[in-house]
């Protein structure tokens, strides 16, 4: 076995591979396989990709396993690399994209206040185009022309992975085993895959006693499938959450947290300037102990069906709330309302997987300009799953107490409202004469 540490640095527009553990080896019996084709596998070490790794080798591929480090809070990275090695990967490596995920993917979506169907903060959706980019960089390095993933043919992730990959490399071959009949024949469901892993002593989280899957990164953890498909099951009761305590178990005393923003971007927590990753990590820790950011939703998948998911996102929930409070002070009304009308479309594009496209490029350029004045500080009070604003301030504060006060004085002349309303009401008065309404 040859173990070689490798350090690579790509240009600033691409993901930086800052840590790679590359393991080259020959698995028992590999001499009988013809490895004439190279493939990069987006490898999580979970149920699906653990099985797919072996299946791709049986299909004649030399498989390079890529674990994209997105800050998965509950996973043992070395154990995942060891698992890939033991299962026959030609190489296995970790690509650290945690800072990029927060800075270049999550924070622009935060600036949009984008939530899919009004609730979901898109923690999984945001990460998928970054995973595809990181895998294609490795494919370019090792000379692979195929990119494989473990997303099912029923879900959203297959769309996100493929749309991102093909937007970056039009010639890449995307292998989605769940869309291949012979793979489904061998593994018609999760129970068969779990049994396969048990027979082959491959450690995976999904078991018969814990029949749901999870997806983890620094932004959130999602839970779905298994018993969660039964809407009569209380999702937040059966899930073993990895980032948050239950609100009932949270402290009986509230806690304050202060977040600072510059141009719509979080820059500090409790007065300490931090990197994007550090901000999300610190707020996960603070919000997690107060049970912040749990939701249980039924959502509309891109492929047409409804699905049920349970999510926890303590840090991003705090950031969304704090960001909105700064905007309330600093953002022009018409600009905010325009952004709010477009935000559901942005959320939809992220959810569906249209990250790398001209329309989304333009929307990102718009929000950067729209957020120029969104600078300020917000203090939130956390208590047993709840968030309330305690204080807010901004050097660009558009709130003028002297104008807004209901007391006498100030620069606002209430007499001016007479003419304002006569003009605003003119169309209604004309309509009332021509087409009177019954009342």
Distance of CA 343 to the CA centre of its chain: 16
Give residues with Cβ within 8 angstroms of 175, minimum separation 6. Answer: 39, 56, 146, 147, 148, 149
Cα 168 to Cα 367: distance, rounded to the nearest angstrom: 23
Q: Which of 249, 374, 253, 254 is nearest to 319 (CA)?
A: 374
Q: State yes or no: is 169 an active-site residue.
A: no
Q: State yes or no: is 369 an active-site residue.
A: no
Cα 127 to Cα 102: distance, rounded to the nearest angstrom: 9
Number of Cβ atoms within 10 Å of the Cβ of 364: 16
Strands 146-148 and 37-42: parallel
Q: 127, 156 in Cβ contact below 8 A?
A: no
Cα 57 to Cα 49: distance, rounded to the nearest angstrom: 12
Q: State yes or no: is 213 an active-site residue.
A: yes
Q: 152, 303 in Cβ contact below 8 A?
A: no
Residue from 48, 69, 260, 296 carrying the catalytic annotation: 48
**Locate tokens 């050097």: which residue?**
395
Residue from 85, 93, 98, 128 carrying the catalytic annotation: 128
Q: State yes or no: is 48 an active-site residue.
A: yes
Active site residues: 48, 128, 157, 213
């Amino acid at each position: 076995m040859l173990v070689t540490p490798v350090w690579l640095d790509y240009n600033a527009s691409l993901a930086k591979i800052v840590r790679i553990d590359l393991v080259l080896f020959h698995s028992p019996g590999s001499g009988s396989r013809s490895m004439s084709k190279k493939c990069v596998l987006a490898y999580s070490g979970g149920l699906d990709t653990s099985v797919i790794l072996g299946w791709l080798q049986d299909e004649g591929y030399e498989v390079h396993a890529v674990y994209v480090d997105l800050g998965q809070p509950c996973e043992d990275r070395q154990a995942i690399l060891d698992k890939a090695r033991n299962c026959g990967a030609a190489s296995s490596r970790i690509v650290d994209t945690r800072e990029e995920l927060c800075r270049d993917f999550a924070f622009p979506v935060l600036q949009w206040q984008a939530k899919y169907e009004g609730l979901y903060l898109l923690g999984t959706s945001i990460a998928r185009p970054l995973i595809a980019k990181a895998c294609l960089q490795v494919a370019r390095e090792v000379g692979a022309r195929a990119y494989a993933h473990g997303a099912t043919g029923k879900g959203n992730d297959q769309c996100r992975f493929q749309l991102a990959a093909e937007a970056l490399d039009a010639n890449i071959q995307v292998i989605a085993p769940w869309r291949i009949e012979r793979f489904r024949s061998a593994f018609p469901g999760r129970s068969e895959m779990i049994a396969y892993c048990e027979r082959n002593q491959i450690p995976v989280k999904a078991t018969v006693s814990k029949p749901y899957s999870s997806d983890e990164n620094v932004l959130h953890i999602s839970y779905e499938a298994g018993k969660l498909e039964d809407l009569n099951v209380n999702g937040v009761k059966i899930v073993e959450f990895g980032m948050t305590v239950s609100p009932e178990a949270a402290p009986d005393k509230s806690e304050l947290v202060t977040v600072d923003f510059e141009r719509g971007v979080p820059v500090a927590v409790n007065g300490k300037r931090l990197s994007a990753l550090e901000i999300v990590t610190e707020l996960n820790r603070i919000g997690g102990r107060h049970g912040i950011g749990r939701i249980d939703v039924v959502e509309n998948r891109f492929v047409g069906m409804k699905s049920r998911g349970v999510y926890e996102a303590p840090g991003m929930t705090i950031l969304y709330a704090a960001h909105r409070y700064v905007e309330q002070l600093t953002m022009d009304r018409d600009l905010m309302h325009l952004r709010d009308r477009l935000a559901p479309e942005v959320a939809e594009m992220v959810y569906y997987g249209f990250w790398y496209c001209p329309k989304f490029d333009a929307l990102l350029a718009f929000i950067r300009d729209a957020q120029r004045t969104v600078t300020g500080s917000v203090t939130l009070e956390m208590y047993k799953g709840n968030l309330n604003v305690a204080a807010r301030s901004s050097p660009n504060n558009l709130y003028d107490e002297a104008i807004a006060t209901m007391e006498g004085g100030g620069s606002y002349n209430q007499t001016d409202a007479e003419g304002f309303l006569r003009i605003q009401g003119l169309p209604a008065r004309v309509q009332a004469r021509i087409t009177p309404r019954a009342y």
